[in-house]
Chains A and B, each alone.
Chain A
Amino acid sequence: MALLQIAEPGESAAPHQRRLAVGIDLGTTNSLVAAVRSGAAAVLPDARGRPLLPSIVRYFADGRVEVGYAAEAKQSEDPKNTIVSAKRYMGRGLKDVTHAENAPYDFLDAPGMLQIRTVAGPKSPVEVSAEILKVLGARAEASLGDKLTGVVITVPAYFDDAQRQATKDAGRLAGLNVLRLLNEPTAAAIAYGLDNGAEGTYAVYDLGGGTFDISILKLSKGVFEVVATSGDAALGGDDFDQRVFCWVVEQAKLAPLNARDMRLLLVKSRQAKEYLTMHGEARITAKLSTGEFVDLDLDSETFCRITHHLVQKTLAPVRKALRDAQLAVEDIKGVVMVGGATRMPQIQHVVGEFFRRDPLNNLDPDKVVALGAAMQADVLAGNKPAGEDWLLLDVIPLSLGIETMGGLAEKIIPRNSTIPVARAQEFTTFKDGQTGMSFHVVQGERELVADCRSLARFELKGIPPMAAGAGRVRVTFQVDADGLLSVSAEERTTNAKASVTVKPSYGLGDTDIERMLRDSFEHAKDDMHARARHEARVDAQRLLEAVRAALEADGALLSAAEREAIERQVAALAAVAASNEHRAIRQASDALNKATEEFAARRMDAGVRRALAGRKIATLEL
């Protein structure tokens, strides 16, 4: 049932056939998938009409996996194998996790990122997230009736490099083509801005299940520009549940709980919190496995008191973002509320008081991020004609730097730099005859390396022996449009150039991904090969389309001989593109990519000139 098929049966597909791309909000508590259909973004519900997918994954000993409501129903029954809020552990070591003692899991401290022991073996948060993404990808393909070209996955704006890398890895592991990682408040701003034709400076206050973001954006016709962002990557609705949970344990004078009772009371605490949004009082009753009964009344006054510091904790990042943007409260035209936790009346109240205006709640705070991601996916897939699309300018949330003498962090790229961004710094050797130099890449605002997040360590070898201070090593940081960092280093004084590129230590290498993919396909080995073939063909098709469109648009930038050279590679790829030889397809694709390098550079140059020419004409018209 292809809803978006334009071509009649038997006819070849139209050249501008819509590409199916969806937006996925991979949330701490719930996840959603949304798509643009007939011009409007909508959340895609499951077969039973439910829009949300609880971000809960249950593992069975036989390798089976249950995701969503089914897993949610069994979370207190099978707490150790039912993983809730995996997002909080993405890209995190065990020592980074707060309240680990209040989570009913057997954590394993694996290098880079913690794992959780289950009956199906140790699982990393990346694998857990991939299970959720797989379900949403399948849901989208079932309801749209075709294969997905790509997805946009949202991440908290305040996620650091390790957490972003982990999210992208989860997407790859789920077999999805991740077009972009998009910041959640930015996604919300897109949905809100387009729906309301908003212009001016807006704040997005996004309190999710486990993360808090504040972003300040300038919205003007066709441009969404993030001016500053701040937040707390470990503060969300979950923490309010924890407060209620601790209050219950204290009031009922309970002894240390087993995993099952802990999960049961956490669920009851969450339900009470949600009930209090509409009512003045909530009753918490539970029968524990010890035979004890819990029966308590929680009124909203008490709830406000025990969570007061959490609400206040969100205001420091808000102030910081405003200062970074060099703006005052009066400059903010509206505050968009995002995330289920913003339903709590005390949050609405405090935000309204701070900004001295009523917060904007006209889009469902649970869905707005997925809707914005769907709109952005539609643009990235190239479904919007020029003029109807928009430009998104986002920033990195935390400064990136390198460790220098004395354990100090030297910032190389400051926070709130517009991405993509690159910056280089030179370091000199400090010993005579020094042939190596080691680097420690960190992220964060604090001066001491120990207070920043360690992203990667690497060593540059093969520096020719020289006097101290004579060896000069240039370290380059490049952050791409996903907000992901790559670092390279190069010795500059001699011809001997050594260079190294590192991936952050929390990111998974290609071999890890391959291993996980192999594991997940153990039951269907042929699938692996089928998938590799499919991917190579899809990529080749996309490349052919892109190059043909580029030749059509800007062929004039090439000489006849240059054009012929590219067309030769186009023909070579076209000849193998439909075959089953995925290696041959990859080779021909690489050759075509190489043949178009100079053409690509000229097109960018032409784009810049076009932009300036357009500007001059516009000025003349005034």
Chain B
Amino acid sequence: MKNHFELFGLTPAFALEAESLERAYREIQSQIHPDRYAQAGDAERRASLQWTTRVNEAYRTLKSPVQRARYLLEMNGVDVQFETNTQMPAEFLMKQLALREALEEAKQPAALERLQAQVRREKALLEKHIARLLDAEKDYAGAAGEARKLMFLDKLDAEIDLAFEGVG
């Protein structure tokens, strides 16, 4: 099993049926999970631990749109440069600044909820766009740029989660 997609019997693509992935994941886990080998010898318990760990990692990667995009791009020899490339179109950066300002000003859970809903709508749009670039147009450079934007929004989403703890 060369890659995460193959592990779950899926065709490599960004567009993905969450249900198929989940079903394959659960069926594999029910075959190899350490709970199935609680009475086995050391060799089998170790093998079960290693394989389950790998399957969990593959599942986590494919489930997350950002990680799935990164993984697909890497399969195609493209480095997304999440950590190093911070160049973004001016328009996107302006929008980010506005969103972050809104986050700073949000003092009520309702305001945070509205903000989070907006961020998630934008994420959904980006995901659609990434699917088109990756799966149909094979525009990997373009997809990498969009994936970096998605990573920004993911981080903002997580920061909104944290902010809830301050106001809740």
A residues apposed to B, CB below 8 Å? 19, 149-150, 179-180, 222-223, 316, 319-320, 323-324, 379-382, 391-393, 417-423, 478, 480-481, 542-543, 545-547, 550, 589, 592-594, 596-597, 599-601, 603-605, 607-608, 610-612, 614-616
Contact = CB atoms under 8 A, between A and B. Distances in A.
Contacts of B39: 19, 149-150, 380-382, 542, 545-546
7 contacts: A391-B26, A423-B57, A481-B49, A543-B41, A604-B47, A615-B23, A615-B27
A597 B47 contact: yes
Contacts of B30: 222-223, 391, 611
A420 B41 contact: no
A513 to B, nearest CB: 19
B51 interface: yes
A589 B43 CA distance: 11
A608 B28 contact: yes
Nearest to A377: B38
B43 to A, nearest CB: 4
A322 B53 CA distance: 25
Given A150-B38, A223-B26, 10 more contacts: A149-B39, A179-B38, A379-B35, A418-B60, A420-B34, A421-B57, A593-B42, A605-B1, A607-B51, A608-B1
Contacts of B40: 543, 546, 550, 600
A316 B49 contact: no
A612 B32 contact: no
A616 B53 contact: no
Interface stretch (B77-85, B135-143, B160-168): B160-168
B32 A608 contact: yes
B29 interface: yes
Interface of B: 1, 7-9, 23-24, 26-35, 38-44, 46-53, 55-57, 59-60, 161, 164-165, 168
B38 A380 contact: yes
A420 B56 contact: yes
A610 B165 contact: no
Contacts of B53: 420-422, 478
Contacts of B8: 612
Dominant SS at the B interface? helix
The 10 closest A-B pairs by CB, nearest first: A607-B31, A600-B47, A380-B38, A611-B27, A481-B34, A604-B51, A612-B9, A600-B44, A543-B41, A611-B28
Contact of A604 (B26, B48, B57, B168): B48
A391 B165 contact: no
B35 A391 contact: yes
Contacts of B165: 316, 319-320
A515 to B, nearest CB: 25
Nearest to A478: B53
A420 B43 contact: no
B47 A392 contact: no
Contact of A601 (B24, B27, B34, B47): B47
A470 to B, nearest CB: 19
B161 A481 contact: no
A37 B47 CA distance: 32
A612 B47 contact: no
A480 B24 CA distance: 22
B56 A319 contact: no
Nearest to B157: A326
B22 to A, nearest CB: 9
Contacts of B57: 421-423
